[in-house]
Structure 1
Amino acid sequence: MLGNVQQTNLDRVFDTLDVTRDGAISKADFQIMAQRMRALRPAMDAKLATEIDETFDAWWEAIRRAADADGNGEITREEFVAAIAQGLENDPEYVDKMVKVSVVTFNAADEEGDGRLTPLQVERIYRAYGVNEQLSSETFSRIDLNGDGFVSVDEFVRAARDVYSSNDPEAPGVVMFGPLN
């Protein structure tokens, strides 16, 4: 059973995934998001671009298989939340499957390839996902666990895990998609 924090976050994840704002998520939404991730770095190498496309496609397929109950290629909010809740309850590796996309998102934004993101790079991720980039500064300060002024891939992935798995309003990543209230 989902807690209040998880429910809030899953609603926000759904809203973020529904790029076309038509009330359902589909393969087209994931293709648009992959395209936006590729655009984060104009001189992206082909290997990373392919990895982004493949990861977003795999993410869509994992969600589609679990959530598209009527087989119409579109997933409603209710289908999405029910599938995530079932996955969290029945599969100990489910969160890992959902956060794989955070690694390629991190890599797309890490222009220097130094394994860390600046506040501006996190803001660009927010913009690419269609999340209010003004929220990125609060998120950045919460997920920069060691306070070094950068977000490492480990900090970023941990925060993404919090989105799905934490019911603690103080967990660093629960605000990745916006404040809880």
Structure 2
Amino acid sequence: MKQVLRHRIDSTFAHYDVNGNGVIELADIYALANRLLRAFGEPAASERGRDLVEAYDRFWEVLVDHCDADRDGKIGPGEYREAMIEAFVDHGPFDADFLEVVQSLLDIADTNGDGRVDAAEFGVLLRARGLGEEECGMAFAHLDTDGDGAISVQEYVAAVRDYYTNPDEDTPGSWLYPKALQHI
């Protein structure tokens, strides 16, 4: 596997390991959900807040099902790397579960309820991941591949697959996480 793809997988592992203890645990996933709740200004007790937490619960279940090889409730870097290679590089069984999680995430990002995730809404998600304002605009322009002014589930999933499979550093997927994390 090309070095840039391995680096991307390791970078997303580091993003998900919020507390930096070397493993991804449920507490890390809740920390990510809380980061997004704060970014969207959404109380955890609201309907949208509960929906986001439930989406992250499902995300955790998907991660554990596909990544936690030793079933200890923790995902180590090797487990994560192997599962991401299988899921995206080798096109494993991750797709159906992942689509549901992405749909839930984009539903939460659609703060005005118009059924679309526009640049401003998607920017909130990207800023919570560490992108700056200018990077958010550039990322949105790259991810909105059909140019309709919104990010669809299909565009997002295609970008995720691209992130894990295409080593080119100027493809839509290369804009999912902060550029600083991607460069080797």
TM-score (norm 2): 0.76
Distance 1:156 1:28 in 2: 25
Structural mapping, 1:24-173, within 5 Å: 24-39=23-38, 40-42=40-42, 46=47, 48-88=48-88, 92-128=92-128, 130-134=129-133, 135-173=135-173
Q: Provide closer, same or farther for how the CA distance between residues 32 and 38 of structure 1 changes in structure 2, counting only shifts above 3 A.
A: same
Provide, for residues 14-58 of structure 1, a one-character-per-residue CA deviation record: whole Å limited to 9, x for no partner.
121111222221000111222333442537852x44432232122
* Residues 123-159 of structure 1, C-alpha deviations (whole Å, 9 max, x = no match): 211233x323343222111012233444344323332
* Structure (1 or 2) with the greater strand fraction: 1
Aligned residue type for 1:132: L
Cα offset, 1:92, TM superposition: 4.1
Q: Which runs of 4+ in 1 moved over 6 A?
A: none
Offset, 1:163: 2.5
Match of 1:18 in 2: 17
Residue type of the alignment partner of 1:25: I
Structure with higher RCO (Cα < 8 A, 6+ apart): 1
| Percent identity of paired positions between Structure 1 and Structure 2 | 26
Cα distance in structure 1, aligned partners of 2:155 and 2:69: 34
The separation in 2 between residues aligned to 1:139 and 1:160, in whole angstroms, is: 13
Distance 1:137 1:157 in 2: 19
Letter in 1 for 2:7: T
RMSD: 2.9
Which ranges in structure 2 are unaligned for 5 or more consecutive residues?
A: none
1:64-94 Cα shifts (integer Å, max 9, x gaps)? 2333344443222222101222344666432
| CA–CA separation in structure 1 for the residues paired with 2:100 and 2:28 | 17
TM-score (ref. length: structure 1): 0.77
